Amino acid sequence: MKIIALDTETTQTIVKGLDIPFIGTSTNVKLENTLYDFNKKSDFEKFKKICESVNYEKIFHNVSYDKYTLKNIGINLVKPYHDTMAMASLVNENYERKGLKLLANVYLNEACLESDILRRYKNTNNIEDFIHIPKNILYPYALKDTEYTLKLYFLFKSIINRKFKDLYEFEIELVNPIVSMQLDGFRINKKLAVEYYSKLYNLAKSSYYAMDKILSDNNIELYDKFLPDAYGQVREILKQLGYELDSTRKEILEDMAKDVKFINNLLVYRLARKMNKPYVIYLLNKLDKNDNVHFTYYQSGAKTGRFTASLIQAIPKREIKSFSKLGIDFSLSLRNLFVPPKDFFIVSIDYDQIEMRIFAYYSKCKTIIDICKNKGDIHLMMAYEVYGKAKVDSDLNYYRDKIKTINFGIIYGMSTAKLAVNLRVSQQEAYDILQDMYYNKFPIRDFLRDSKNQLYRDKLIKIEFNSSLMKFYREYRVPERLAYKAVNIKVQGTAAYIMKYGMLRAYNYVLNNKLSKYIKLICTIHDELVWYIHKNYIHESDILVKIMEDNESLSVPITATKKISDISWGDCK
């Protein structure tokens, strides 16, 4: 079978809201490079023939993205294909970015000068879209990409086959559901988005003018134009207004906002801009002709193997009510912008407190395991164990939040000093709560110590499962200085693959039962899968929940809960 590395360069200027490839490149095993201009029919057909042939072993860097964009121009990429980004993540997860040029520099000792030339040109000429870059700069850059990809493939191949063959093959099976999410996109309520934009724009504008007037009325002179996001300048203004602050942290300013008009307007301005530019404006700019936004998903974006995605993972889950604290009668829920098509429901299926269930499994603490096996709020049940039911019920939210803070503090490897800050108590009190109360009820100190010792001994954190629902082996190379994260890596790594296996099982169920027209996987975010389900097939949502759950792989049940709405994602209940 022929082996060939392929890549494309894309633009969003041809079709609004869609990434469209306009050139392609290839490198064969003789390191012969070819460039394909998709405006030329002959070049397009040559590239298409390779992609749609089962006789080529096709190597990409981030194959799910390329498969998605190629579908946008009528090319159906078929197996066999490989992904050097997924390979790199399994070989060594410790690179925050897994960009091709970085990996080529690290693993192949390539200088990647063509990348520096392109980057300088983009910065100098303020160009974002690759289609506007001259051919004499773009083509050398593009041709090197497939050369690097091919070399990385052969470098990683033996390691993958020797240690991570099953897991890598599983990651390749995830390509189709990822492509499906990217192709369908998430429908946006454009009218509401425009209303949000207008309101936020006007709030930022009016608050800026109000601050500018305060500066004028108080004869405050600045060496430069007033910039509300320039923290040093704001501190100098406040000093001239009679408020000398060591810090302009949000919490400090919020305490003063009620009495100081300049600070009140400053916080309104910053909040309006924070909600508008990275969220509302981004979504409006990315809309396709059907008002869908197509997010890019990275199946190994996080070190642990968890999915990451452009913007969608940063959308706040709860309604933003902060404006009311500043005297503005306005709130917004960004999730309300995401809506289902006609005759469809949005169905959100979220794993139930998955991190605590995994923590219970690894800790082998019988008390926590028993709590996880009973239906109910794990943090609340643990609060009852520590403080007693009567005391907790007297101020339920306070004691539940206290135990939740401790639980996640332990999982994330938080120091006693940091835990004290989060609990708002002294370090001694935080230490006493842990030693005298928490650990007495939940004897997990040996587990925490052994997890760190395993890392010191093996220089690795190992995760392995061998059930009918989840079968894989994975290593994480954690530096000794980060040994305090040993438990967190086990928990997050396991959560990543519970989600991935659950997603693939559910996606395959839809596919195998020919339900793709009526049930569409729309996005994955943290421990949640979001679906569009036709009103006549809404009963299938209960089946999807059961498929995503896992009562076999761990000593505690991994359960999920659905929420539905025919209005918006934010309305799901």
Instruction: Tell me the pLDDT tens digit for each residue of 400-424.
Output: 999 999 999 999 988 889 988 888 8
Instruction: Tell me the pLDDT tens digit for each residue of 195-247.
Output: 999 999 999 999 999 999 999 999 888 777 889 988 888 888 988 898 888 77
DSSP state of 300: T
Distance separating alpha carbons of residues 300 and 105, to the nearest angstrom: 20
The single residue listed with the structure tokens 């690097």 is: 148
Count CB-CB contacts under 10 A for residue 397. Answer: 9
End-to-end CA distance of the chain: 51
Point out the residues of the chain with pLDDT beneath 50.
none
3-state helix, strand, coil in the chain (%, to 5): 55, 15, 30
Count CB-CB contacts under 10 A for residue 202. Answer: 11
**Do 294 and 18 meet the contact criterion of CB atoms below 8 Å apart?**
yes
Distance separating alpha carbons of residues 117 and 137, to the nearest angstrom: 7
The residues near 42 (Cβ < 8 Å, ≥ 6 apart) are none
What Å distances lie between residue 151 and 31, 60, 66, CA to CA? 9, 11, 19
**Do 491 and 362 meet the contact criterion of CB atoms below 8 Å apart?**
yes
- SS3 assignment, position 463: strand
Q: Which helix (H) or strand (E) element contains residue 342?
A: none
**Do 185 and 15 meet the contact criterion of CB atoms below 8 Å apart?**
no
- SS3 assignment, position 535: helix
Backbone CA torsion sign across 436, 439, 441, 446: negative
Using CA atoms of 464, 470, 472, 478 in order, give the dihedral in degrees to the nearest 10. Answer: -50
Alpha carbon 359 to its chain's center? 21
The C-alpha angle 190, 195, 200, rounded to 5 degrees, equals 125
Alpha carbon 20 to its chain's center? 23
Distance separating alpha carbons of residues 186 and 339, to the nearest angstrom: 8
The residues near 526 (Cβ < 8 Å, ≥ 6 apart) are 313
* pTM (whole model) above 0.95: no
What Å distances lie between residue 114 and 6, 101, 138, 152, 420, CA to CA? 18, 10, 9, 18, 50
SS3 annotation, 42-107: HHHHHHHHHHCCCCEEEEECCHHHHHHHHHCCCCCCCCCEEEHHHHHHHHCCCCCCCCHHHHHHHH
Q: Which residues pair with 58 in a beta bridge?
A: 4, 81
**Do 328 and 207 meet the contact criterion of CB atoms below 8 Å apart?**
no
Q: Identify each DSSP E strand in 144-185 by its residue range.
A: none
Q: Which residues pair with 188 in a beta bridge?
A: 338
Closest to 284 measured CA to CA, from 197, 224, 409, 168: 197
What Å distances lie between residue 303 and 88, 128, 313, 451, CA to CA? 11, 28, 16, 18
Mean pLDDT taken over the chain = 93
pLDDT on residue 96? 57
Distance separating alpha carbons of residues 296 and 312, to the nearest angstrom: 9
Q: Which residues pair with 9 in a beta bridge?
A: 23
What Å distances lie between residue 8 and 22, 25, 47, 61, CA to CA? 7, 6, 10, 10
Distance separating alpha carbons of residues 449 and 484, to the nearest angstrom: 10
The residues near 388 (Cβ < 8 Å, ≥ 6 apart) are none
Please give the order of strands across the beta sheet that includes 344-351.
Answer: 519-525, 528-534, 344-351, 560-565
